[in-house]
Amino acid sequence: MPDSPRQQQTLISTGAVLLALLLALPVIVVVSYVFVPTGEIWSHLAATVLPDYIINSLLLMLGVAIGTLLIGVSTGWLTSMCQFPGRGLFEWALLLPMAMPAYIIAYTYTGMLDFSGPVQTTLRELTGWGFGDYYFPDLRSIEGAAIMLTLVLYPYVYLLSRAAFLNQSICVLDASRTLGNGPWSTFLFVALPLARPAIIAGLSLALMETLADFGTVQYFGVSTFTTGIFRTWFGMGSAAAAAQLAAGLMGFVMILILVERYSRRRARYHHTSRRHQDIHRYSLRGMRAVAASGFCFGIVALGFLLPATQLLSWTVSVADQVLDARFMGLVTNSLELASYAAVLALLLALLLAYSQRLFPGKVLQGAVRLAGMGYAVPGPVIAVGVMIPFSFIDNSIDSWARSNFDISTGLMLSGTVVAVVFAYLTRFLGVSLQTVDSGLSKITPSMDEAGRSFGYGPLQILRQVHVPMLKGSLLTALLLVFVDVLKELPATLILRPFNFNTLAVRAYELASDERLAEAAPAALAIVAAGILPVILISWTITRTRRVAVTRDTP
Amino acid sequence: MQISRRFPHCILGLLLACSTAVASAAEVNLYSARIEALIKPLLDTFTEQTGIEVNLVTGDADGLIQRLKSEGRNSPADILLTTDVGRLYRAKEANLTQSVESTTLEKNIPVMYRDDSNHWFGLSLRARPILYVKDKVDPAELSNYEDLSDPKWKGKICIRSSNNVYNQSMVASLIAANGLEATEEWAKGLVANFAMPPRGGDRDQIKAAAAGQCDLAIANTYYLAGMLTSDDEEQRAAAEKMAVFWPNQDGRGAHVNISGAAVTASAPNRDNAIALLEFLSTDAAQSWYARENGEYPIRDDIEIGPVLSSWGTFKADPVELYKLGAGNGEALRLMDRAGWR
């Protein structure tokens, strides 16, 4: 055992770097393809479809960014700082769309709004119009895709901005009021800038998910970077060129994150007071109250109530055929996988975040950031990134055992739940890291110092100071990953063991075969299983609010 | 210290337990690109008849091929089942499959629907004819795929995206018949005739045509069959507005792809795998595909049920199927150049 603190520090930070690199392995595998020559595929792509991929991906991101910011921040502010009828209900109901997989909401809305769907058919029957006689916005377009993704992704921005608003110092807001600022200017010039890190964190989750989305854009016929990756891989059979596209995507996300960090530069946001105090909400009356309630209701209706009702009606129409013991097996599998992955992702995120906090260093920071990149990588690419090193390890051990003991060990990791869970960790570690990080950033270094002055060791500081303050963030991280894993499809599909299905696999298989009604029960079960955690998240945030914030810019 | 000493024994014990389990059970491991709902009933029948358990993983064909590749000689998979010939060709090219000697398979499956060195075998046919709206189009106006680029169809054709492998194989068959240059010209003409930018699946094209958005839809017939037998009244109504036109009947015949299977190079249960393939080629299994999935059997003497019978018989393009597989990439680039999204 190393006895000097210095040695200990080196040991821990080296361990953390190795752990982060292990988790980043699939990402590294994908990036390493950059060096595989792919001949003329790139010049073909550049001459034909690559500009489209880039423009469409950027437009989609822009649309989702605007949509999620407008909806997420406004509803976050309304439910935390204003009083209006139904506020308590909307507080958690606004999170419900989060339980809805994007491709499912896309299928559902298309079923309702398409030219041959019930809405337009009824319209034609009522008016006697035929094709071409009237204008109806086309859902299956880039705008449509942006709307669908916004509807299910705004909760990330809502969740984190609301938590930030609730945690803001009442003193700061009160100061703003005494300086003569009305609610609008307090929001715009005080609350919003203070909540910026949280809002940006929520937005970057939403945008990373947008970039990784495949189901929605594929169904809508929008060529994005992600559909391009699949075309290149599947259609042209070039895994290397596909991996290079994926690496390009990651590079782009990396640049965005760095730009954001640079623009924030060295500003830090810490709480310096632990005074608890009820928030004084702005009381909305008359038309304003109606508008606020109506707006929140509209969002919940579009993002959850309408599609869920459609799913429910489909489910009822096929319930007798699909709801059997095997269906219950799917539910169990999904819940178990989601629980394992959520707990492990949280533990790993804590480990990495703390190592970074205690022993900051460029190498560790880089490794952790790399490990968090998986969130922006489309699931199938991550899956291949897991598959290649896992089978390599398996086959190497097997060869070694064969040559030394003349026995075959076969595949010990590949094709097991271990591989599936590892893929989830790679893909969703970014989510728990972000959440834990933003929780940790609320604990000022001076609190650590105070703890140390009491003679606490690092573990005691953790227990006495950090855990009580972090509880909310930890639970949020846990539940976010849980819901994400419930919805996850591509990695599960490619990596899962024999005779092992999940709700997402079932829903996708049937939906992709264009059997929407039969896909509905599994889709609805995903939504149902996601609702409870979503409500829990909301409850936690309301309970763990803290007050007092100042901005200390060195 | 005790734990660490005992640990290797535990691992060894586990491994032995695993390997004996593998050896004693009669089973076969299937990687299937066909979704569970469309294969499980047949597999259950197979297990009932033979006592051989079938372990199933479904997924995208390319994902499964990648999995086979990485797993290498230790892969547990015995069979790769795909829903188009391109992927079977690709698996064979990557040395993931093996040649199989079986008189039953050779007897049941016509030469044109299996690999020339018996690496893969077709198990059902997926025809992609032209579907037209009955009360809008006179079938006498229709003739062949080539004609679809004629300006008379401007704004009247619905077809899905070029991302889809059925379109890639169809264009590959045109390249095989007419050459690259002519096919590129054709694709440009076809794109100019699109009623709307490609999106959605085959069923969506049929629905759009039935709703009046276009006159012709290019789609695989089993989607139409699925809609005709659907529980959903709306889908049935849409499908009933459509009729099937078999193109190129005076020439090479309608484009047909196959679903098929190959025994993997590393198959640990090779005999059981062959038994399963033979089972899938039997009359009973073939007839099940036709009646339940709406796909055509690999031989024309099989009972196909009322829906498929109502569309009559047709001549299928006898192009060597591996050419479609080999031509997928080329077809995709051609469609890229033609602006077929």
Whether A231 is in a domain gets the answer: yes
Q: Which residues of B288-300 are buried (b: 16+ CB within 10 A; e: fewer)?
A: bbbbbbbbbbbee
Whether residue B21 has pLDDT greater than 90: no
Q: Which sign, positive or negative, has the C-alpha torsion A424, A426, A432, A434?
A: negative
Split into its structural domains, chain A has a count of: 1
Chain B residues in contact with A227 by the CB 8 A cut-off are: 163
Chain A residues in contact with B336 by the CB 8 A cut-off are: 44, 48-49
Task: Please give the pLDDT value at position A153.
Answer: 95
Instruction: Compare A554 and B71 and report the one with higher pLDDT.
Output: B71
Longest dimension (CA), chain A: 86
Please tell me the distance from the alpha carbon of residue A172 to that of residue A186, in angstroms, as a whole number.
10
Whether A24 is in a domain gets the answer: no
| pLDDT tens, residue by residue, B69-104 | 989 999 999 999 999 898 899 899 999 999 999 999
Residue A308's pLDDT band, with cuts at 50, 70 and 90, is very high
Whether A316 is in a domain gets the answer: yes
Tokens representing A33? 């393809």
What percentage of residues in chain B have a pLDDT greater than 90?
71
Mean pLDDT of A10-22: 88
Task: Please give the pLDDT value at position A269.
Answer: 55
Residue A508's pLDDT band, with cuts at 50, 70 and 90, is confident
Alpha helices by DSSP H, A221-377: 225-230, 239-264, 286-300, 306-322, 325-358, 362-372
Mean pLDDT of A176-189: 77
Mean pLDDT of A199-227: 86
What percentage of residues in chain B have a pLDDT greater than 70?
93
Whether A438 is in a domain gets the answer: yes
Q: State which residues form the domain around A93.
A: 38-265+273-552
CATH number at residue A375: 1.10.3720.10
Lowest mean pLDDT among A86-90, A137-141, B179-183: A137-141
What percentage of residues in chain A have a pLDDT greater than 70?
92
Lowest mean pLDDT among A34-48, A201-215, B2-16: B2-16
Task: Please give the pLDDT value at position A552.
Answer: 33
Please tell me the distance from the alpha carbon of residue A445 to that of residue A51, in angstroms, as a whole number.
47
Whether A422 and B86 have beta carbons less than 8 Å apart is answered as: no
Residue B55's pLDDT band, with cuts at 50, 70 and 90, is very high
Lowest mean pLDDT among A3-7, A55-59, B91-95, B173-177: A3-7
Pick from A177, A210, A168: nearest CA to A69 = A210
| pLDDT tens, residue by residue, B104-158 | 999 999 999 999 999 999 999 999 999 999 999 999 999 999 999 999 999 999 9
A394 and B74: CB-CB below 8 Å?
yes
B213 and A237: CB-CB below 8 Å?
no
B70 and A391: CB-CB below 8 Å?
yes
Phi, psi (degrees; rounded to nearest 5) at B128: -125, 80
Please tell me the distance from the alpha carbon of residue A104 to that of residue B78, in angstroms, as a whole number.
33
Mean pLDDT over all residues of chain A?
Answer: 84
Whether residue A479 has pLDDT greater than 70: yes
Please tell me the distance from the alpha carbon of residue A251 to that of residue A259, in angstroms, as a whole number.
12
Whether residue A547 has pLDDT greater than 50: no
Distance in Å, alpha carbon of A514 to nearest chain B alpha carbon: 7
CA distances from B67 to A243, A414, B11, B32, B71 (A): 16, 9, 25, 12, 6
Task: Please give the pLDDT value at position B157.
Answer: 96
Least CA distance to A501: which residue of chain B? B57
Residues 136-195 on B with a CB inside 8 Å of A are 160-163, 165, 168
CA distances from A442 to A212, A253, A273, A448, B252 (A): 30, 25, 11, 12, 72
- The minimal CB distance from B232 to the residues A114, A490, A517 is found for A517
A514 and B204: CB-CB below 8 Å?
yes
Q: Does B293 touch chain A (CB under 8 A)?
A: no
Phi, psi (degrees; rounded to nearest 5) at B120: -135, 155
CA distances from A42 to A250, B165, B287 (A): 18, 21, 46
Instruction: Compare A130 and A206 and report the one with higher pLDDT.
Output: A206
Question: Which residues are CB-neighbours of B185 under 8 A, at least 6 positions away?
Answer: B149
| pLDDT tens, residue by residue, A240-253 | 888 888 888 888 88
Q: Which residues of B114-149 are buried (b: 16+ CB within 10 A; e: fewer)?
A: bbeebbbbbbbbbbbbbbbbeeebeeeebbbbbbbb
Mean pLDDT over all residues of chain B?
Answer: 89
Whether residue B19 has pLDDT greater than 70: no
Whether residue A500 has pLDDT greater than 90: yes
B67 and A494: CB-CB below 8 Å?
yes
Task: Please give the pLDDT value at position A544.
Answer: 59
Distance in Å, alpha carbon of B37 to nearest chain A alpha carbon: 8
Distance in Å, alpha carbon of B193 to nearest chain A alpha carbon: 16
CA distances from A155 to A108, A161, A543, B54, B55 (A): 19, 10, 18, 43, 40
Q: Does B67 touch chain A (CB under 8 A)?
A: yes
Please tell me the distance from the alpha carbon of residue A38 to that of residue A43, in angstroms, as a whole number.
10
Task: Please give the pLDDT value at position B232.
Answer: 77
Whether A6 is in a domain gets the answer: no
Residues 302-331 on B with a CB inside 8 Å of A are 328-329
Task: Please give the pLDDT value at position A264.
Answer: 65
Q: What are the structural domains, with CATH classification, of chain B?
A: 27-126+257-303 (3.40.190.10), 127-255+315-338 (3.40.190.10)
Q: Which sign, positive or negative, has the C-alpha torsion A55, A61, A63, A65?
A: negative
Residue B13's pLDDT band, with cuts at 50, 70 and 90, is very low
| pLDDT tens, residue by residue, B227-266 | 998 877 888 989 999 999 999 999 999 999 999 999 999 9
Task: Please give the pLDDT value at position A493.
Answer: 87
Whether B222 and B293 have beta carbons less than 8 Å apart is answered as: yes
Instruction: Compare A223 and B19 and report the one with higher pLDDT.
Output: A223
Least CA distance to A493: which residue of chain B? B59
Lowest mean pLDDT among A64-78, A334-348, A426-440: A426-440
Whether B193 and B149 have beta carbons less than 8 Å apart is answered as: yes
- Highest mean pLDDT range out of A243-257, A372-386, A469-483, B56-70? B56-70
Residue A276's pLDDT band, with cuts at 50, 70 and 90, is very low
B161 and A219: CB-CB below 8 Å?
no
Task: Please give the pLDDT value at position B24.
Answer: 43
Residue B23's pLDDT band, with cuts at 50, 70 and 90, is very low
Strands (E), A174-217: none
Lowest mean pLDDT among A217-221, A223-227, A259-263: A259-263
* Beta pairing class for A550-552 and A268-270: antiparallel
Mean pLDDT of A229-238: 76
CA distances from B203 to A49, A116, A150, B33, B131 (A): 26, 11, 27, 19, 11
Chain A residues in contact with B83 by the CB 8 A cut-off are: none
Q: Does B76 touch chain A (CB under 8 A)?
A: yes
What percentage of residues in chain A have a pLDDT greater than 90?
27
Instruction: Compare B68 and A115 and report the one with higher pLDDT.
Output: B68
The CA dihedral of B77, B82, B87, B89, to the nearest 10 degrees, is 80
Whether A490 is in a domain gets the answer: yes
A513 and B35: CB-CB below 8 Å?
yes
